[in-house]
Amino acid sequence: MKCTACKDEAILRIKRHHVAFCQKCFIKFIQKQIIQAIKRYQMFSKKESVLLAVSGGKDSMALWSVLTDLGNQITAIHLDLGIPNFSDQSRQIVQRFAIDKNLPLVVFSLKEHLGYTLPELQKKIPRPACSVCGLTKRFILNHYAYHHHYSVLATGHNLDDEAATLLGNLLRWREEYLQHQSPCLPSDYPGLVKKVKPFYTLTDQEILWYVQQMKIPYCDSICPFSRKASSLDFKKALNVIEDQSPGTKHYFLFHFLERKHDLFPGKQPNGILKNCSLCGMPTTQERCSFCSVLETAQNKSQLFIGKDDIEL
Ligand code: AMP
Ligand code: ZN
């Protein structure tokens, strides 16, 4: 098997693009995909400082490495959720990488700042564990980025994640979520930081090859709470179809993104936003979902995160 780009011996084949690459050309391919994604959606420029959410998993570790190699100004933030074993392992990988490469990193401990670890919080809230986790991560990351003046927040979501989310939203016909799904969500209300997903064109497998080729350390344990997550079933279902017809996931996601504006013409994805009466962050309710979660957990209102309460 020959490399499509340089005709040297290839080490891997990407069926959906009908190409094979040697190591050097594969790394160039990944970099090019990122550069094009950033440009296509005007995600950020090299002058902007970007806050990158790093979990310690392969996607965010790869993104941290590749964005740094491409000369972007990246500050990583890792949320230590306090999940036994899993969180310690993830935090150590992230911290070691930051020290080895001399990269700026913020570690935000839930226990320290909220008084609860994620499992402690989940026990008090009558909602699925993954929903409490997702809501907490989204709130803290946006809150931190906003109050520390980052104009962009990047995450490691990839093509498989985005295609699984799309399938889940279609199966439940969640129109509001469908309108909102994009690799780049602009900041359209004070307090909402722009969100970007520069890996949305790359699959799980391609990113796995990248971390292996570049010898990037990552945590390969699965979060114990996510084992029952329906997104994993959607990923599996899409992979069954992908095996039969390579390129299906790619087609499914990209054609949705191209046609989204025709499907939902003139609709406002965020509804009518106002400021949460407790924390001041944007919400469609009187209180944001995160303050409601904290209030339920504590059963009194004094524990909300005020503007300065989570300064590091
Ligand atoms: P997940 O929801 O676990 O698939 O993660 C999706 C993305 O969210 C990751 O690629 C990270 O960018 C971000 N993320 C998830 N967990 C954390 C965490 N504990 N700390 C910082 N970022 C995270
Ligand atoms: Zn609030």
Q: Please compute the mean of the pLDDT values over residues 213-221 and round it to a whole number.
A: 97
User: What residue owns the CA closest to ligand 1's atom 4?
Assistant: 157
User: Which ligand is nearest the CA of 154, by number?
Assistant: 1
Is 124 inside any structural domain?
A: yes
As a whole number of angstroms, the distance between CA 81 and CA 94 comes to 14
Residue 310 above 80 pLDDT?
A: no
- Whether 151 is in a domain gets the answer yes
Alpha carbon nearest to ligand 1 atom 10, residue: 156
* 122 and 196 part of one domain: yes
pLDDT mean over 25-43: 98
Domain total in the chain: 2
Q: Which atom of ligand 1 is nearest to the CA of 90?
A: 19
Q: What percent of the chain has pLDDT over 70?
A: 94
Span 283-305, average pLDDT: 79
- Do residues 238 and 147 both lie within one domain? yes
What tens digit of pLDDT does each residue of 149-164 get? 999 999 999 999 999 9
Query: Are 289 and 162 in the same domain?
Result: no
Reading phi first (left if > 0) and then psi (alpha if -120 to 50, else beta), residue 22 is in beta
Residue 224 has pLDDT above 90, yes or no: no
Which three-class secondary structure state does DSSP give residue 197?
Answer: coil
Q: Are residues 121 and 54 in the same domain?
A: yes
**Residue 301 clears pLDDT 80, i.e. is over it:** no
Q: Alpha-carbon torsion 244, 220, 104, 78, what sign?
A: positive
Q: Is 142 in the pocket of ligand 1 (CB under 6 A)?
A: no
By percentage, how much of the chain surpasses pLDDT 90?
84
Identify the band that residue 263 occupies on the pLDDT scale cut at 50, 70 and 90.
Answer: confident
Query: What are 54-67's pLDDT values in tens digits?
Result: 999 999 999 999 99
> Domain span at residue 280?
272-306
Cβ–ligand 1 contact at 137 (below 6 Å): yes
Checking if the pLDDT of 217 tops 90, the result is: yes
CA of 105 to the centre of ligand 1 (A): 15
| Residue 165 in contact with ligand 1 by CB distance below 6 A | no
Q: Strands 105-109, 73-80: parallel, antiparallel or unpaired by DSSP?
A: parallel
Q: Whose CA is nearest to atom 1 of ligand 1?
A: 157
Please check whether residues 87 and 209 belong to one and the same domain.
yes
Please tell me whether residues 221 and 302 are part of one structural domain. Answer: no
Q: How high is the mean pLDDT of the chain? A: 92
The pair phi, psi for residue 86, each rounded to 5°, is: -60, -50
Query: Are residues 277 and 258 part of one domain?
Result: no
In the predicted model, is pLDDT for residue 236 greater than 50? yes
Q: Are residues 297 and 263 in the same domain?
A: no
pLDDT of residue 127: 86
200 and 286 housed in the same domain: no
- Does 157 contact ligand 1 (Cβ within 6 A)? yes
Q: Candidates 50, 52, 54, 55: which one to mutate for ligand 1, based on the most atoms within 8 Å of Cβ?
A: 55
Calpha distance 136→122 (Å, rounded): 10
| Within a domain: 122 | yes
Same-domain status, 99 and 242: yes
Q: Ligand 1 atom 8: the closest Cα is on which residue?
A: 155
Q: Nearest C-alpha to atom 14 of ligand 1 is from which residue?
A: 55
- 128 pLDDT band, cuts 50/70/90, is confident
Residue from 108, 118, 155, 216 whose mutation best tests the ligand 1 pocket (most atoms within 8 A of CB) = 155
How far is 253 from 245, CA to CA, in rounded Å? 15
Question: 245 and 125 in one domain?
Answer: yes
Residue 311 lies in a domain: no
Please tell me whether residues 225 and 285 are part of one structural domain.
no
Give the model confidence (pLDDT) of 80-96 as tens digits. 999 999 999 999 999 99
Whether the pLDDT of residue 303 is over 60: the answer is no
Q: Which ligand is nearest to the CA of 276?
A: 2
Domain assignment present for 87: yes
Do 141 and 79 meet the contact criterion of CB atoms below 8 Å apart? yes
**In which element (H, E) is residue 77 found?**
strand 73-80
274-302: b (≥16 Cβ within 10 Å) or e? eebebbbbbbeeebbbbbbbbbebeeeee
Domain-located, residue 10: no
Per-residue pLDDT at 233 exceeds 70: yes
pLDDT at 311: 35
